[in-house]
Each structure stands twice: as structure tokens, then as C-alpha cells.
Structure 1
Amino acid sequence: MKKALLIIDVQNGMFTEGNEVYRSVNLLENLNELINQARSAHTSIFYIQHNGPVGHPLEYGTNGWEIHPKISPQNRDVIIQKTTPDSFFNTTLEKELKIHGIEHLIITGIQTEACVDTTCRRAFSAGFQVTLASDTHSTWSSDEITAQQIINHHNSVLRWFATVIPSTEIIFNT
């Protein structure tokens, strides 16, 4: 079954000094490990880039909109533009996955309770096998609960839609 690594919204605006996404350094390290493994196994990598409206941290065309330089895409990688939490809605993602013969998605990125959650559920509903890297998605604390509690909750809930495992257990070459 052909796999692809999907990296959602890991853009500069999510790493603003003083308001960085939870465990930002660890997130980037884990993503780099997965990217290196995927590249070594000649696995397709899809970057999802959110296009926010004027004033949004991911405002289209601004520095905040750019994909984080520590995980920069290469020429062979596919970059999909989106405007909603659903990486499939009104995008070319599903078409591109089919062109590449992808049947299994390894999902990572930001924001756990929004774009990551929505994309996991949508990928499952579209018939893809889905793996969520449990330590390679992140968010911010809310007024009610911590970022770690949000991540833990979604790792538990999304087991209905995905195999949820740490990034160190993900294997690309099979």
C-alpha cells in the first residue's frame, strides 16, 4: 500500500515568539525525522499550507504564511493550498493523492483540534488508511484545558479514524 506523509500547516505564523505552538522544538525535530525517513524510502510528501485572511497569522503571501524553514519542501514535494480546516475541502489534495497512487496517509501538523482532526476524519471517510503520528501534531492551550490535554484527547478520539502511534514507530518502506 503506497504511503504519503502529510504535513499540515507547519508555517512560520505558528511559531511566533511568545506564542509558539506547544512543544514547538520537539514538533520540528519529530517532523524532521519523519521527513528524512520518508525521503530515504522515496515516499511522497505533501505539505498543506493554510491561506489565512488579512490579519491572520497565516495571511496569504506574508512571512507567517511561509512553510517553516526547518522543514522546507523540496521540488518533488507537493504543496496544497487550503482555506478551511479540512485539507480536502475545495483543494486538489484528493486528486493529487490519486495521481500518486496513495492509499495510506501519515498525518502530522498543526492544529490538533482543528485541521489535524478534520483532515484525519475526512481522509478516513474518503477511504484512505490513516496513521496519526501521536507526537507530531500540536496546538495551544485553551482557557479550559492545556495543549497536552487537547493532544491526548485527540489521540484517543481519533483512534476511531486512524492508527495512532508515536513517530518512532512509523515505517515508510513497506
Structure 2
Amino acid sequence: MDKKALLIIDVQVGMFSDENPVYHGEKLLKNLKQLLFRARATNTPIFYIKHNSPVGKPLEHGTNGWKIHPDLSPTEIDILIQKTTPDSFFNTNLDKELKKQEIKHLILTGIQSEVCVDTTTRRAFSMNYEVTLVTDSHSTWGSEELTAQQVINHHNQVLSWFANTNKTSEVEF
């Protein structure tokens, strides 16, 4: 069986602002805490991906909004990957760190469904990783055209071409 890792993409304080919080943020945090607990219980490596936004944006490097959400605090053995684009692999050391630990299967979660989660899922597939997208452990915001739930549902469907799709309760470590 291929070695797995849990990837938590951009679950940073700035995504939960009072003015415009991510859709179903509390449910997302609850599901991610379950995944973290099970990953840690099985010694599955955990990778936190942190977006670094330009100055003045919610995820500006070094600001409070840039920090990992306190409900999901990393431990000393977890790996933090810094990125500046939607692709968690582009200009980062993610692939190198995964290969160093001989990881072949990525369990993907996080924010934002149609941007960083989508891009990272497709890129991981193209790099020959087996991917599991946790369908109830990624989130986004709605727009004038689509509700957040519609965006999530659409991406769960489309990304099934690139990943296994499972709910939090179905993920095996």
C-alpha cells in the first residue's frame, strides 16, 4: 500500500474573517480536526500549505491572518510549505518533501475549492500522485453566479476525474 500524507491547504486565520468567512467554516474545521486526529494516530505525515499574499491582503506573510487557524495547530513534526500561487507545487519544496518521505498518495483538503484545492489536485494527478479529495473538507465563497455549495459540488464532481472522492468519515489512513 502506498504511503499517504494529509495536505491542508490555506486553512489560515484570514479565511475566517468576521466580515466574509469561508462557507461552513465551523464544519470545515470540525472535519479537518477529525482528519488530523486520525492522521496523527496512524503516524501519517501532515503537510500544511500556507498562502503568502501581497501586502494588504488577508493572507499577507507575517500577519495574524496568515497564521494557520488555531484549531488546527501544527506540531513540530508537521511540515509547512509556503506558496504564492494556487499551485501548491509551483516554486515550492512540496514535491521534494513528499519524495523524501516516499509518499505516493495525497489526501487533499482546504480552501479554496475552485482555486488552490482544484489546482493542486490536478497538478498532483499530473505528477503521478494518487489523490483523494475529501469532499466535505474543502470550502470556498459564493459569487453572484453560484452559491458556495454549488461551487463545492461542482468541483467534487469535476475533480473525480483526477482524484478519488471520499467524505471525511470514509478516508482511510
> Normalized against structure 2, the TM-score is what?
0.99
Question: Residue type of the partner of 1:108?
Answer: T
Consecutive unaligned residues in structure 1, runs of 5 or more: none
Deviation at 1:123, TM superposition (A): 0.2
Counting only pairs closer than 5 Å after superposition, residues 21-170 of structure 1 correspond to structure 2 as 21-170=22-171
Provide the identity percentage. Answer: 63
Moved over 6 A (4+): none
Consecutive unaligned residues in structure 2, runs of 5 or more: none
Aligned partner of 2:10 in structure 1 is: 9
Q: Can you list the C-alpha shifts for 1:109-145, whole angstroms capped at 9, x where unaligned?
A: 0000000000000000000000000000000001110
Deviation at 1:18, TM superposition (A): 2.7
Hey, what's the Cα distance between the residues in 2 that align with 1:17 and 1:69? 16
* Other structure's SS at 1:55 match: coil
* Other structure's SS at 1:47 match: strand
Question: Residue type of the partner of 1:98?
Answer: K
Q: Can you list the C-alpha shifts for 1:71-95, whole angstroms capped at 9, x where unaligned?
A: 0100000000000000000000000
Hey, what's the Cα distance between the residues in 1 that align with 2:4 and 2:166? 15
Hey, what's the Cα distance between the residues in 1 that align with 2:89 and 2:162? 16
